Structure 1
Amino acid sequence: MERSAPTGTILIADDHPLFRQAMAMAAQAVSPDSRIVEAATLDAAIRIAASASDLLLILLDLKMPGATGFSGVAMLHAERPSVPILVVSGADPGAAAEARRFGAVGFIGKDQDLGAIEAAIATALSGGDVALPQPPAGEVDDMARKVATLTPTQLRVLLGVLAGRLNKQIAFDLDITEATVKAHMTAVLAKLGVQNRTQAALAARALGIGVAH
């Protein structure tokens, strides 16, 4: 019989709302009855970690306001040493060993798909160590071909989404209407074969088109 996921609080510490949304989707899929809380700065993450008595897991981006190097891992581990920390970061995968040294149970890149991130979260929640998975052969080439079909304006709209900008802000930046932005984003989703803005961002991130961190 398959074991059900533990229930409690899962903390997502990342300064970019798009990736907090993606991590929340993944965490909720693994542990649907858990409470998901978010922090955009290290100080906020530490406050939540200190106050959440039922904290199950911390999903942490290494590069966020208040953190330098691996200070975020070290400080959160010091605050809650029994709570597993899974680093989900766009940092060099070579940082995985150092992150473990400071208390993380594993490291997974933001360029991994949601399925891989969900598997990593499930492993961390079950008390296991998380290794950095490799993307399936040919997956990046296939997505590269899809991105190559985007028009310049569609690509600019996608980059605006990756920067966390709202449709009305993207419309102002590109001097087009908000309705046109929505139409372009619908076309982007169809061309990339994804269903929402978050999946489009993750797909583009895998190709190195992402948030500058």
Structure 2
Amino acid sequence: MRILIADDHDLVREMMAAYLERDCGMKATQSASFDEAMAQITGNGPFELVLLDYRMPGMKGLEGLRAALEASGGNPVASPAAPTRTSPKRRWPPEPRGSFPRPMSARSMTNAVKFMVMGETYVPVDFMTAKEADNPAVSHLTPRERQVLEGISKGKSNKEIALDHDIQEVTVKLHVKTLCRKMGAKNRTQAAMMARDQEMV
């Protein structure tokens, strides 16, 4: 059984591959980016299951999930840490086989993979019902950074955001720069799109 693991964190990807090969008898192919994953799917697929890190470079959130689903020819695709905490039916396409939080124990992860390979959908109940405030996607942002992110997600300029929160425009500019770095976004527009896809605002 062949599985594709795409994650830009080398240690996470290699550990997942090792556990699945050892405990599930699967042959794990690894990719470090979304583009590499798509090349594997189209060039060396099909895979019985594709695991895509929702926040890796080039993924673009749900857009990447949908592209991988289309390329996989009907085989299951799942995404660790996909945005299923709030309003999953509205934001998350129905086709992916599952989502699971990280960190996750090796036993739970291998059981989840086995479940999805069998054609079932796996999403832990506690992950689905967790409060939005606990979303790990925003846990590393300061309160001010969250305010700025909300502003750019609404299409506001730096000046408008500064007026909203009684801060200097140059301060907003610095926060935008920090947000892009933390989120791995190329610019404020991409940061805003990522924030909406990941339900950070």
Q: Same fold (TM over 0.5)?
A: yes
Q: Deviation per CA, 1:121-165, whole angstroms, max 9, x where unpaired?
A: 000111111122549xxxxxxxxxxxxxxxxxxxxxxxxxxxxxx
Q: Distance in 2 between matches of 1:95 and 1:16?
A: 28
Q: How does 1:96-115 map to 2 (within 5 A)?
A: 97=89, 100-101=92-93, 103-115=95-107
1:85 to 74, 77, 81: 77
CA contact (8 A) 2:4 2:51 kept: yes
SS in 2 for 1:121: helix
Instruction: Note if 1:121 corresponds to 2:132.
Output: no
SS class of match (1:106) = coil
- Which of 62, 65, 74 in structure 1 is aligned with 2:66? 74
Instruction: Return closer, same or farther for 1:90/1:31 CA change in 2, 3 Å cut-off.
Output: same
- Which 4+ runs in 1 deviate beyond 3 A? 90-100
What is the deviation of 1:99? 7.0
Q: Relative to 1, partners in 2 of residues 1:73 and 1:128: Cα closer, same or farther, differing over 3 Å?
A: same
User: Does the 8 Å contact 1:14/1:61 carry over to 2?
Assistant: yes
Deviation at 1:38, TM superposition (A): 0.8
Out of 6, 14, 22, the residue aligned to residue 21 of structure 1 is 14
Aligned pair partner of 1:36 in 17, 21, 28: 28
Q: Does 1:11 align with 2:4?
A: yes
CA contact (8 A) 2:82 2:99 kept: no
Equivalent of residue 57 in structure 1, options 40, 43, 49: 49
- The total of aligned residue pairs comes to 129
Q: Give the root-mean-square deviation of aligned CA atoms.
A: 2.5
Q: What TM-score results when the alignment is normalised by the length of structure 2?
A: 0.56
Over 3 Å counting, the alpha-carbon distance change for 1:99 and 1:76 in structure 2 is farther
Offset from partner CA, 1:61-118 (integer Å, 9 cap, x none)? 1101112121221110011131111211275634854675163111101122111111
TM-score by length of 1: 0.53
Q: Which runs of 5+ in 1 are unaligned?
A: 1-6, 136-211
Distance across 2 between alignment mates of 1:29 and 1:98:
37
Q: Quick one: structure 1 residues 95 and 133, their matched pair in 2 at CA, closer, same or farther if it must change by over 3 Å?
A: same
User: CA separation of 1:97/1:60 partners in 2, compared to 1, >3 Å: closer, same or farther?
Assistant: farther
Tell which has more relative contact order, 1 or 2 (C-alpha 8 A, sep 6+): 1
Question: After the TM superposition, which of the residue ranges 20-29 and 106-115 deviates more from structure 2?
Answer: 20-29
The equivalences for 1:194-213 within 5 A come to none
What is the SS of the residue equivalent to 2:48? strand
